[in-house]
Structure 1
Amino acid sequence: MRNNKRLVNLAVLATGLILLYHTSLGNRMEKAIRTSGKGHTGVLDEAVVNSSKPFIHADTTKWQFPCDEKSIKKYTARHISKAPVIDGKLDEEVWQKIERSPRFVDLISGGETLYDTRAAVCWDDQNLYIAFWMEEPFTQGTFKNHNDLIYRENDAEVFIALKDAYYEFEINALNTRYEAFFMWKDAYEKNGFGAIPNLSLANPLVRNFNGVGLKNHPRGLRYGSWDFKFPGMQSGVFVDGTLNDHKDRDRKWTVELAFPWKGMEWLAKGDQRPIPPKNNDVWRIDFTRFNPYKEAAPAKDSGGWAWSSHGVWDSHVPECFPKITFSRKGI
């Protein structure tokens, strides 16, 4: 009898352990299915099913981008009372007194660059104003049509990024523009981007986009529209030298831009942030310069220079853009 009781007790204990194991495994399987993300089918990986260890989420609290988070540049954009004339000369008082950025660094390495490049930002209740000063001995500019591939020659670029979208602007020494508007796929439907003809997926100039050098952005894919022109935007360019003439040495070329706040409605769609900004609001804006040459070795010149390094050959990483704080305090 005692032996029979012992056998019964052992059987009950074994049954309990089996039930406990399967309950734990089932919980892990259910959790794994719930957490399968983009790029997965929802079918459990065999390693997860057979694992005796609990299913653990990937750590998303760590910095996941190629730039150094602590090295991202910061700048305070001052409010102005008198708007500059947008002619590219940068001879108004505001541009003489304004704080300029540090000298641009290499886009990838963050190292010193061959020629001096700086930018500045200010604003009023109508426009966002941006200026570039670019030292350049041999200024080139040949592309004349909107959205020509002007990044293949001397160009200056601005990216304005808000929560669910960002805008790309490029300009060359002939004042030719290149523009595109990018929308994160996970926010495309909820923000109603498709209701706008030049952002609609039915438009042949709206295409999938997966970055340039960073092909595994943590947020996933984007839609890009190359049928976008920033409404009311003004630009001016001035060449201190002779364009496309290598017989002499130029000094610099300068760029002056004005982006109307009212044209940023779709950029701000994701978080409904106030436009124009409120005092001390922080935006992410990128400033870069690309050249048709590279400094000779042993210099590590990628050919792209930036206010704040990205750590990768890719301008499409909003998390690496400088942090611009808008202040109502004047210059």
Structure 2
Amino acid sequence: MKKYRPVGLPSFFVLALGLLFFQGSSVRTDFSEKNQPADATNRRNARNTETGRTAAGDSAQWAFPCDRKTIERYTAYRTAKPPVIDGKLDEEIWTKIPRSPRFVDLVSGNNTIHDTRAAVCWDNENLYVAFWVEEPFINAKLTNHNDPIYTDNDVEVFIAGKDTYYEFEINSFGTRYEAFFIWKEAYEKGGYDQNPIFALSNPNVKKFNGVGYKHHPRGLRYGSWDFRFPGLQSAVHIDGTINNNKDRDRKWTVELAFPWKGMEWIAKADNRALPPKNNDNWRIDFSRFNTYKEAAPADDHGGWAWNSHRVWDSHVPECFPIITFSNKTR
């Protein structure tokens, strides 16, 4: 893409631009701390959490809608035996590792009518994710890949890199939805434009500016709906009867395996280790969206998440939970 450089700017424009640059440099994105093991950084973050101070630049401005003090942290342990991806979640590892807190309303942070939780483990081959989704009436209608699964009842995973993030959705039929997003500022300099899957000439690549949060400090993204996560495994198990509301169901569970080898475009910008090293931190979001809402006076937005974004938008990587990978096995 051709770039234009202004020539002979008047001095007051230069001064104004300098002030804008100075102000912009104080905005934290929380991706400035590299995803590398750093015991001193981890200890400082723990102290800051206790005292209420901000981490890594206490005077920096927080420019995002979520409350940074409520962003969840979770330790993902290794598994010595990989789970069988059948959706049943009956392997020992899922009983031994911690589950997330009960999901809260994406916008308000309030309690939700049904219980939803997630858990994460890993080995040298894959990132494993599980969901437990309480649902009295399990329903689905969409069956084709990249149907708008978000208009069904679904669960979603967003995996963020420094300059990119990947979106995955699945409904109770097991139908998948996938997209890959690249911040415009990094699109050319990061070499993403050289991949036909991300090329702007690809009809499945579109400009994207968020959903309910249209003023992200990093601006515009390019989204590719042509991306397929290599080697992804997914499965759903129904504890009830799908699309039969004459009886009452209990839950549906989801089991996922994301191969580390498929994350090269996520890891590219900061050259993060695949698989992660001990104590590496990643931003990963976990959410649930429903076609229904709890009856008034409940303030139910129909979208629930591991921690609230305080806005109707999952596309805010700075608000994703912080997942720390541990070499300890469970």
Using the size of structure 2 for normalisation, the TM-score is 0.85
Equivalent residue, structure 1, for 2:91: 92
Equivalent residue, structure 1, for 2:15: 31
Asked if residue 268 in structure 1 is aligned to residue 282 in structure 2, the reply is: no
Q: Kindly, what percent of the aligned residue pairs are identical?
A: 67
1:218-253 deviation per Cα after TM superposition (whole angstroms, max 9, x unaligned): 011100000011000000100100000000000000
Deviation for aligned residue 1:33:
3.8
1:129-165 deviation per Cα after TM superposition (whole angstroms, max 9, x unaligned): 0000010000111100000011111100000001000
Asked if residue 243 in structure 1 is aligned to residue 227 in structure 2, the reply is: no
Asked if residue 279 in structure 1 is aligned to residue 278 in structure 2, the reply is: yes
Equivalent residue, structure 2, for 1:323: 322
| SS of 1:95 mapped into structure 2 | helix
Give the Cα–Cα distance (whole angstroms) in 2 for the partners of residues 33 and 95 of structure 1.
53
- Match of 1:141, as an amino acid? A
Deviation for aligned residue 1:190:
1.3
| SS of 2:61 mapped into structure 1 | coil
Equivalent residue, structure 2, for 1:14: none
Give the Cα–Cα distance (whole angstroms) in 2 for the partners of residues 296 and 111 of structure 1.
14
Deviation for aligned residue 1:27:
5.8
- Match of 1:106, as an amino acid? D
| SS of 1:122 mapped into structure 2 | strand
| SS of 2:62 mapped into structure 1 | coil
Equivalent residue, structure 2, for 1:44: none
Equivalent residue, structure 2, for 1:102: 101
Give the Cα–Cα distance (whole angstroms) in 2 for the partners of residues 329 and 28 of structure 1.
57
- Match of 1:244, as an amino acid? N
- Match of 2:243, as an amino acid? N
Equivalent residue, structure 1, for 2:66: 67
Aligned residues: 288
Asked if residue 163 in structure 1 is aligned to residue 162 in structure 2, the reply is: yes
Give the Cα–Cα distance (whole angstroms) in 1 for the partners of residues 221 and 134 of structure 2.
34
Give the Cα–Cα distance (whole angstroms) in 1 for the partners of residues 166 and 293 of structure 2.
27
Equivalent residue, structure 1, for 2:144: 145
User: Structure 2 unaligned runs (5+)?
Assistant: 1-9, 28-59
Deviation for aligned residue 1:213:
0.4
- Match of 2:16, as an amino acid? A
- Match of 1:268, as an amino acid? A
Asked if residue 177 in structure 1 is aligned to residue 176 in structure 2, the reply is: yes
Equivalent residue, structure 2, for 1:194: 193
| SS of 1:168 mapped into structure 2 | strand
RMSD: 1.3
Equivalent residue, structure 2, for 1:76: 75
Equivalent residue, structure 2, for 1:230: 229
User: Structure 1 unaligned runs (5+)?
Assistant: 1-25, 38-55
Whichever of the two has the greater Rg, that structure is: 1
Within 5 Å, which residues of 2 pair with 1:248-263?
Answer: 248-263=247-262
Give the Cα–Cα distance (whole angstroms) in 1 for the partners of residues 103 and 94 of structure 2.
18
| SS of 1:232 mapped into structure 2 | coil
Give the Cα–Cα distance (whole angstroms) in 2 for the partners of residues 36 and 122 of structure 1.
43
1:229-287 deviation per Cα after TM superposition (whole angstroms, max 9, x unaligned): 10000001001000000000000000000000000001111101111000000000000
